[in-house]
C-alpha cells in the first residue's frame, strides 16, 4: 500500500538520512553514523515517504530493504550526496572523511593481519570509525551486516562487487627443537577446507598427534613441539618461533577476496577503507615474493 502524498518542499536533510539508512540497512546503524537517535531517522524517513507519496523501504525483521521505487530514489539521492560533499571539500569545509565503516574477516586475518596494517588509514582519516568484526559466519553484505568483507573464497551468489586480493600460500612449520615425526591437523568440523583436504591427501597414513579448530591452536601446538603444522606463510612468519620444513607436495594456496555491496563501493569513507585493505595485501604479496618460495 502506498503512502499518502504530503504537499510541501523536499527537505534535503530527509534525503541525507535516507541515503544513510539505505546504505546502513538498519535504523540503529544509520543513527550511529549520523550521530542522531534512531527515532530521528525513523521520523525523517516517514516524512520523506509522505513528501514523495512513495514507500521507499520494506520494513523487515532483519532490517530495512529498499523497494524498487526506493532504489530509484537512492540512485539520484546518492549522486546529490556526493556532490554536496564535493562542494564542501572544494570550499574547505570538509577536512576529512567521517562516518563508520564495518569490516569483517576471519579472526586471524582481522586481528593479526588487517588491524595492524590499517593504522595508517586511521592516521590519514581519523574521522572514520572503523568497526572490525570477526565472525565465523560470513556476514551478509546484502543485509548490511557489514560494509566490506575479506573472505577466503569468492562469493558465488548475490549482486556484490568482488576483487581478488592475493593468493595466501601455505607452508609446513615446526618448532626448532620440536618433534617432527607427527602432524598437527584440523578437527573434523574443518574437513571441507582446502588445507584440511591437502593434509588428508599428503599426510595420509602419517601420525596426527594433535588436532585443533583454530589457527592459533595449531600455532601453539607447533611452538610447543607437538609436530609439524600446515600454516599460512604470512601468519607463521609474523608470529615467529617456527622453522619452515620441506613439504611433501606443493602446499595449497587460499585466495583472499575483497567484497563490497555495489551501493557502497563509491562512498568516500568506504573507498578509503577498500584502498587501505588492497594496499595491505599488495605490500604483503611483494614481501613474500621477494623472499621466494
Q: Which one has a higher pLDDT value, 83 or 38?
A: 38
Query: Is there a domain that residue 240 lies in?
Result: yes
pLDDT for 93 equals: 46
Using the predicted structure, report yes or no on whether residue 12 has a pLDDT greater than 90: no
Mean pLDDT throughout 269-293? 80
Whole-prediction pTM:
0.67
Are 187 and 169 in contact, with CB atoms under 8 Å apart? no
Query: Is there a domain that residue 101 lies in?
Result: yes
**3-state SS class at 83:** helix
pLDDT for 243 equals: 96
Structure confidence at residue 225 as a pLDDT band (50, 70, 90): very high
User: What's the structural domain count of the chain?
Assistant: 2
Whether 69 and 165 map to the same domain: the answer is no
Using the predicted structure, report yes or no on whether residue 207 has a pLDDT greater than 70: yes
Query: Is there a domain that residue 47 lies in?
Result: yes
Of the three residues 44, 71, 91, the one that is the final residue of a domain is 91
| Radius of gyration (C-alpha) of the chain in whole angstroms | 24
pLDDT digits (tens, 9 = 90+) for 238-279: 898 999 999 999 999 999 999 998 878 888 888 999 999 999
Query: Is there a domain that residue 1 lies in?
Result: no
Whether 80 and 153 map to the same domain: the answer is no
Of the three residues 91, 113, 144, the one that is the final residue of a domain is 91
Q: Which of 180, 253, 254 is nearest to 222 (CA)?
A: 180
Query: Is there a domain that residue 225 lies in?
Result: yes
pLDDT for 275 equals: 92
Whether 123 and 46 map to the same domain: the answer is no
Query: Is there a domain that residue 248 lies in?
Result: yes
Query: Is there a domain that residue 5 lies in?
Result: no
Task: Domain of residue 200: give its range.
Answer: 97-293
**Mean of the per-residue pLDDT values for the chain?**
84
pLDDT for 92 equals: 46
Q: Between the CA of residue 34 and those of 8, 62, 102, 135, what are the distances in Å? A: 25, 20, 15, 25
pLDDT digits (tens, 9 = 90+) for 88-146: 555 544 456 888 888 999 999 999 999 999 998 898 888 898 999 886 555 556 566 67
Whether 41 and 72 map to the same domain: the answer is yes
Considering 11-25, 48-62, 211-225, the range whose residues carry the highest mean pLDDT is 211-225
**CA–CA dist 125, 24 (Å, integer):** 20
b/e 118-141 (16+ beta carbons within 10 angstroms → b) = beebeeebeebebebeeeeebbbb
Which CATH number goes with the domain that contains 149?
3.40.190.290
Amino acid at each position: 500500500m502506498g503512502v499518502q502524498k504530503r504537499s510541501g518542499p523536499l527537505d534535503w536533510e530527509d534525503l541525507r538520512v535516507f541515503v544513510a539508512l539505505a546504505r546502513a540497512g538498519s535504523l540503529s546503524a544509520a543513527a550511529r553514523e549520523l550521530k542522531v537517535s534512531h527515532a530521528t531517522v525513523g521520523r525523517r524517513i516517514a516524512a520523506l515517504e509522505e513528501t514523495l507519496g512513495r514507500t521507499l523501504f520494506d520494513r523487515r525483521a532483519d532490517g530495512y530493504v529498499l523497494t524498487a521505487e526506493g532504489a530509484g530514489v537512492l540512485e539520484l539521492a546518492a549522486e546529490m550526496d556526493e556532490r554536496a560533499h564535493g562542494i564542501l571539500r572544494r570550499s574547505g569545509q570538509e577536512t576529512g572523511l567521517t562516518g563508520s565503516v564495518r569490516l569483517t574477516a576471519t579472526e586471524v586475518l582481522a586481528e593479526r593481519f588487517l588491524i595492524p596494517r590499517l593504522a595508517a588509514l586511521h592516521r590519514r582519516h581519523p574521522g572514520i570509525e572503523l568497526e572490525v568484526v570477526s565472525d565465523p559466519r560470513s556476514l551478509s553484505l546484502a543485509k548490511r551486516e557489514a560494509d566490506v568483507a575479506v573472505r577466503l573464497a569468492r562469493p558465488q551468489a548475490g549482486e556484490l562487487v568482488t576483487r581478488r586480493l592475493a593468493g595466501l600460500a601455505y607452508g609446513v612449520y615446526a618448532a626448532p627443537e620440536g618433534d617432527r615425526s607427527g602432524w598437527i591437523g584440523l578437527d573434523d568440523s574443518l574437513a571441507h577446507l582446502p588445507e584440511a583436504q591437502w593434509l588428508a591427501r599428503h599426510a595420509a597414513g602419517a601420525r596426527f598427534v594433535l588436532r585443533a579448530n583454530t589457527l592459533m591452536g595449531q600455532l601453539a601446538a607447533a611452538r610447543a613441539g607437538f609436530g609439524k603444522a600446515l600454516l599460512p606463510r604470512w601468519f607463521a612468519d609474523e608470529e615467529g618461533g617456527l622453522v619452515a620444513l620441506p613439504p611433501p607436495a606443493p602446499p595449497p594456496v587460499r585466495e583472499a577476496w575483497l567484497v563490497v555491496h555495489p551501493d557502497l563501493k563509491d562512498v568516500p569513507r568506504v573507498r578509503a577503507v577498500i584502498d587501505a585493505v588492497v594496499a595491505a595485501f599488495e605490500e604483503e604479496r611483494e614481501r613474500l615474493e621477494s623472499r621466494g618460495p
